[in-house]
Structure 1
């Protein structure tokens, strides 16, 4: 065990996912040997709900740990060892526009896929680059573990901007959420499964699921999905939109039975169907604002009023919190465990571009991720991923170059849009909506 005492900072401390991360951290206190936890957010009032809950939680469970929350960058980043990043530039107000503007034009309105993901990506890149520069000013060797969406665009942009920085790791909890659901369907502990997986973030497939005896359980999983459907492990705690999203995995396995896809692939395979199922007046952003956000803040405040976190129901879905803390622990103690994370391709998928940011199984330790080789993928999957890679690359180039043309090319290429006239209408509306956040596109 690495006994060096550490400081961990959570960027986006006011996120409703932060309580789950904090609760997970209390279980890793000895293993991660942290002495200081800091929440950082630019929204002081929003962070206060979570920060006061965190103070109470650590006072009860880890009283020897210094816990604080702040809007001061130097306090947050100085001498930090691990940065957990989950920022949302523009908040839910901008997410609502990301989802509703495309839907009003008759195409997918979703947080990370299609035009919504494009808009969010251009916003996120600005603040993520600033965050990395700030962290490196105060803590040049800190590990930056990034959850910030849309992770594919953010990861590609950060890799281009900070090519030599080997301590930025872009991760997503959806593969873990999928594995938890898979474990429930198969009646096994998901941690006992060794996955084979390839794709881009929110655009990938499980190609194998090996148990400790080396048996591939993927054929059995596909049979069970076709017989009984697919649902999240924590179905009773999920909003209806998430249940619908998981349910469509069955359709994808029936149509394309070779592999088991990530839930997000449906937006690219069935864009017309998905668009018809979405309400332009009440999107997932509204669902979160009126549901999860309200519930988490209320339950944090109730715990503070009661003077105890015992009996609090603020933490429901542990996958998000558990994964980032577990990955930090794996790096800290060089455990060399397997995770599905994002890395630069460099031949991992041999018939995709070298600079694509692929999401694959990797062995993770204190040297960072060491990816498993995938090799060539079949023409159908290659075609889908080449298209998405082109969209992601053009999006990032539009950001760095301030190029309207490349932004239009990106949206036209995206499978959820494809029509250039629609792409131009959407782009022009998104430019107006994001005036305070995007670079000027000429």
Structure 2
């Protein structure tokens, strides 16, 4: 089995490598190709990757290339983990929206739209290269904004599934609180990427006992603290929202907080510099503890599980993924991309049935999906007016004065990445 990781020079990659090494019986990789245009980062990351494989007695071969076509040739699956513009562009996404009194964040709001506009054309170009070189390869997208990027891939006819680590993070957290194995925890996870709720937590499988009320009663303070939300809000909802819902439920509070501290991008850039120095140490043969603060917890385990199911029979039969709605949420179009539990196999992902949703959740999902429709249109066709309409449609913006100012700033800060600007 051959896998390619596009964006393999990322500081995330050792997390992925560690999972590949530990879970080699689930996903028996013979060759892993790390693809990245930054040859200097590739050298540092691949050196540590080979040492991790060696320490854990993994027989797989790790190679590197800056050539996408060569890297994805004959690959059974291609993982996409890109950041077009790097941390510098992310820092802009997290700062200029604040000038208009709106949340600055890299995956939602105006910053999320900027990332989508930069990213979708690049991802589609890579996917076309994969299709020309190896049309049978699966594309696993971890590149944000995952919902929009995955929809772009699917609409272009690619074999693609989107992946996020939010659900597996909740699964692992709840398993620790319940003192059970993670595989015993099934989430009633419903929504869009970075806009989701855990409506139930079941033991043993999709039809198991719902222990969410017990979790909230016994561990509500811990859960609320992790989400940076008041305990009483969690109790009133009776569900566990993704921590990204704080941008919607406490928008003004978050804007005030963001205006008083360095951006997350600045923090991550400092971490990346330190991590790359660590990766260059020939004595280091395991992922460093600092990597846990970088983000992406359990990404490797989710990626292994998904790839194993798409390529064979090694993964879990039911996983949380991003895929076509196809009637699952009846208030959305079939070609909307949702994030829910799905049966995953060689033919792809088929969402499990979801009960009728409270309008509190369905309304926001429908609103953000409408924004994502417009955001994808802007990413594919460009134009100031399309950017403005997407921003006006976003529930975190929604006022024409804000949308006008944000449109000007978005284009000014991203002109080098926008072919039409």
On whether the aligned pair clears a TM of 0.5, the verdict is: yes
1:40 aligned partner: 35
Structure 1 residues 248 and 9: CA distance shift in structure 2, 3 A:
same
Once residues 142 and 251 of structure 1 are traced to their aligned partners in structure 2, the CA distance between those partners, rounded to angstroms, is 47
2:229 aligned partner: 248
Once residues 417 and 150 of structure 2 are traced to their aligned partners in structure 1, the CA distance between those partners, rounded to angstroms, is 19
1:222 aligned partner: 216
Once residues 320 and 250 of structure 1 are traced to their aligned partners in structure 2, the CA distance between those partners, rounded to angstroms, is 28
1:282 aligned partner: 262
Once residues 89 and 337 of structure 1 are traced to their aligned partners in structure 2, the CA distance between those partners, rounded to angstroms, is 33
Structure 1 residues 427 and 310: CA distance shift in structure 2, 3 A:
closer
Aligned pairs for 1:81-160 (under 5 A) are: 81-160=76-155
Q: How much has 1:351 moved relative to structure 2?
A: 2.2
Once residues 181 and 63 of structure 1 are traced to their aligned partners in structure 2, the CA distance between those partners, rounded to angstroms, is 29
Structure 1 residues 343 and 11: CA distance shift in structure 2, 3 A:
same
Secondary structure of residue in 2 paired with 1:210:
strand
Once residues 323 and 270 of structure 1 are traced to their aligned partners in structure 2, the CA distance between those partners, rounded to angstroms, is 29
1:16 aligned partner: 11
Secondary structure of residue in 2 paired with 1:32:
coil
Q: Choose the corresponding residue for 2:192, options 177, 184, 200.
A: 200
Q: How much has 1:136 moved relative to structure 2?
A: 1.1
Q: How much has 1:403 moved relative to structure 2?
A: 3.2
TM-score between the two structures when normalised by the length of structure 1? 0.88
Secondary structure of residue in 2 paired with 1:140:
coil
Please give the per-residue CA displacement for 1:270-324, whole angstroms capped at 9, x wherever unaligned.
2111111113761100111112x1332122112x2x2x51695465465011210
Once residues 249 and 167 of structure 2 are traced to their aligned partners in structure 1, the CA distance between those partners, rounded to angstroms, is 19
Consecutive unaligned residues in structure 2, runs of 5 or more:
none
Q: How much has 1:251 moved relative to structure 2?
A: 5.7
Secondary structure of residue in 2 paired with 1:435:
helix
Consecutive unaligned residues in structure 1, runs of 5 or more:
1-5, 233-245
Q: How much has 1:48 moved relative to structure 2?
A: 2.0
1:436 aligned partner: 416
1:26 aligned partner: 21
Q: Choose the corresponding residue for 1:297, options 276, 281, 295.
A: 276
Alpha-carbon contact 2:224-2:234 (below 8 Å) kept: no
Alpha-carbon contact 1:17-1:321 (below 8 Å) kept: no
TM-score between the two structures when normalised by the length of structure 2? 0.93
Larger deviation, residues 117-126 vs 279-288: 279-288
1:309 aligned partner: 285
Q: Choose the corresponding residue for 2:243, options 246, 263, 267.
A: 263
Q: How many residues align?
A: 415
Q: Choose the corresponding residue for 1:183, options 154, 165, 175.
A: 175
Establish whether residue 392 from structure 1 lines up as the match of residue 372 from structure 2. Answer: yes
